[in-house]
Amino acid sequence: MPTEAPKVLYVRLPCWKIYPGGVIYVADFVHKQRPGIHQHLLDLALIAPSARRRVLAEHLRTLQPNIVAFSWRNMQSFGPHPEDDALDVVMNFDHSPKWRNKLKAAVDATRILWDYAASRMRNFGYMKLVRRLLPETRIVVGGTAVSIFGKYVAEKCPRDTVVVIGEGEDAMLAIIDGFTQPAGEFYYKDDAGTITHRLRHETFDLSRLTAVDFPYIESIFPHFRAYLDGDIGVHTKRGCPLQCHFCLYNKIEGPKQRYREPAEVAKEIEILNKQYGVKHIWFTDAQFFSTKRSVEHVERILDELLTRKTDITWSGYIRLNHLTPEIVRKMLATGMSSVDLSFTGSQEVVDKLTLGYSLDQQMDALRMFKAHGYTNQKIKLYIPLNAPGETIATLKATIEKIRELCDLFGRDNVLPFIFFIGIQPNTPVEKLLIHQGYLKPDYNPLTLNPFTIKKLLYNPKPLGRLIGRAYLEAVESTDASGEYIGRATMDIMERNLAKLKPALHPEERSCVLVGSDQAKGEPGCP
Ligand code: B12
Ligand code: SF4
């Protein structure tokens, strides 16, 4: 490493346009600790695909950085939902009664798979370009994708690369300081290609994350203003002590909740709002409201926002435990624009997925919203449809509860999101499905085998077909009516479930369809 202050080029790897909050927190922290260091942020998400290599090469030649630090957000992005065409493709391939649609889905799937594989190869290609043009430069890779698949990235990246797992502020600072006293968790591939792994021993104190110095960020990130008319991600804490079956956020961020100073969070939002005209904030915490302590922490942030009279709307993933009418009023008064929560209408499924709350209490909290200042905020329900434990009875219970919510908030405001569990590495649900033989113990979560990828989007028989057909019918009908696809899917499912007769063995989840579909020889739920 050189003796003068190193120059750092951050490269945000391509993904759908979304504010690069993670790497901005890292660069801001480094700047505050080592103001003399020259940093620059290049966001490849905003550069036309055909120009990305050229623009990166130009930056490398012009800036001659000593450290090139990549930020990689999504690697295994299959969690299809109605706003992602991969859901249509999987549904058509598996469940369309029309061969033409199945065939088209197979062709589309090949295209999506190619994009998926090619984007991964291109990302490693950018790292290799750095190694070729600047052989002495140290490469660093961080971000949520590598936090999950760090070992894999370490195997594929060039020599002398540090692959940072989880939060990156202290790890990056230690690398910039010469990497003689490393911090954080990382894999390191040395010059000989040997990979070593360091676990995190220290705790990063989140109160060190003071309000981002946006004028500085703008000075190193020419594309900063391109994000200001959309959602800006603001982090208030890290960690989640809960253990929902399908989730690995608690592994990415750790199980212990750590907090930023409420006044600093509010100041960050105030600057974004008043100096940069930002109107919408997404709180990027694993869960914005979760434990009792975290709710108290959020309340302090909301109080600060009220004092500062910010004019924003906001959203974030929330649970509805520990709310009081007072907090609800503050949430709405500070501009909460939607209630985004995991939802199933069956306590049995809540318990099977170890979501750790009472459904009755969740419904009471939603009624509390209605009673204390609710106007027309959207109620977005992320439904883990057909998760392990789902039965016809639980599905009917979910439909019933959605109906209740439509009566409460108005049909147009309730948005059931057709979401399936994406099986993620090292989660309890993955272990369960390996144990049940659904997945092979040595399956590769980053496989390019379309049949395994399809399996990772968990929607098994027999209910899978019922849901799939309802979804496909909803797509056709909503094209014409403009109805929200999730609501239409639930309606069609309700209609089809009403036609079901219990099978001979009611304890099995199988069912027999009576009525029009059966007349066409189409078993609704084989
Ligand atoms: C909030 C969130 C969202 C919000 C984002 C809202 C917004 N406007 O920002 C919404 C709901 C829109 C969303 C959408 C999606 N998301 Co999301 N999301 C998250 C979540 C919960 C937090 C991400 C975040 O912003 N964290 C806060 C910032 C501060 O932290 P960070 O980015 O991780 O950065 C830190 C470290 O990673 C590291 N770091 C980052 N860059 C760098 C660079 C260097 C050099 C270093 C050293 C360190 C470093 O240091 C940072 C600070 O400590 C994560 C899960 C999680 N708990 O992390 C999933 C997550 C990132 N999402 C994921 C996915 C797949 C998606 C979708 C593709 C889902 C879908 N199918 O549509 C979309 C894609 C969106 C897009 N445009 O790319 C995956 C990605 C990983 C993977 N499996 O490949 C995650 C990990 C969830 C999961 N399934 O496990 N998401
Ligand atoms: S789903 Fe939410 S509450 Fe559950 S473990 Fe994940 S982050 Fe925590």
Give the atom of ligand 1 at the shortest distance from the alpha carbon of 18: 77
> Of the ranges 5-14, 79-88, 128-137, 217-226, which one carries the lowest mean pLDDT score?
79-88
- What are the backbone angles phi and psi of residue 138, rounded to the nearest 5°? -85, 135
3-class secondary-structure state, position 15: coil
At 447, the amino acid letter reads: T
Query: Per-residue b/e over 295-330, b at no fewer than 16 CB within 10 Å?
Result: bebbbbbbebbeebebebebbbbbbbbbbeeebbeb
159-210 tens-digit pLDDT: 999 999 999 999 999 999 999 999 999 999 999 999 999 999 999 999 999 9
Cis peptide before 222 (omega within 30 of 0): no
Report the separation in Å between the CA atom of 436 and the middle of ligand 2, taken as the mean of its atom positions: 24
Our answer on whether the CB atom of 250 is closer than 6 Å to any ligand 2 atom is yes
Our answer on whether the CB atom of 18 is closer than 6 Å to any ligand 1 atom is yes
Q: Which ligand is located closest to the Cα atom of residue 357?
A: 2
The pLDDT assigned to 82 comes to 60
Distances (CA, A) of 201 to 145, 185, 186, 204, 522: 22, 8, 11, 10, 58
Sign, CA dihedral 454-456-461-466, equals: negative
387-423 tens-digit pLDDT: 999 999 999 999 999 999 999 999 999 999 988 888 9
Report the separation in Å between the CA atom of 99 and the middle of ligand 2, taken as the mean of its atom positions: 39
479-495 tens-digit pLDDT: 767 789 999 999 999 99
Instruction: State the DSSP code for 212.
Output: P
331-365 tens-digit pLDDT: 999 999 999 999 999 999 999 999 999 999 999 99
Report the separation in Å between the CA atom of 157 and the middle of ligand 1, taken as the mean of its atom positions: 21
Judged against a pLDDT cut of 60, whether residue 513 lies above it is answered with no
* Residue 476, Cβ density class (10 Å: 0-12 exposed, 13-18 middle, ≥19 buried): exposed
At 487, the amino acid letter reads: R
Return the half-sphere exposure (C-beta side, CA atoms, 13 A cut-off) of residue 180.
3
- State the CB neighbour count (10 A cutoff) for residue 58: 12
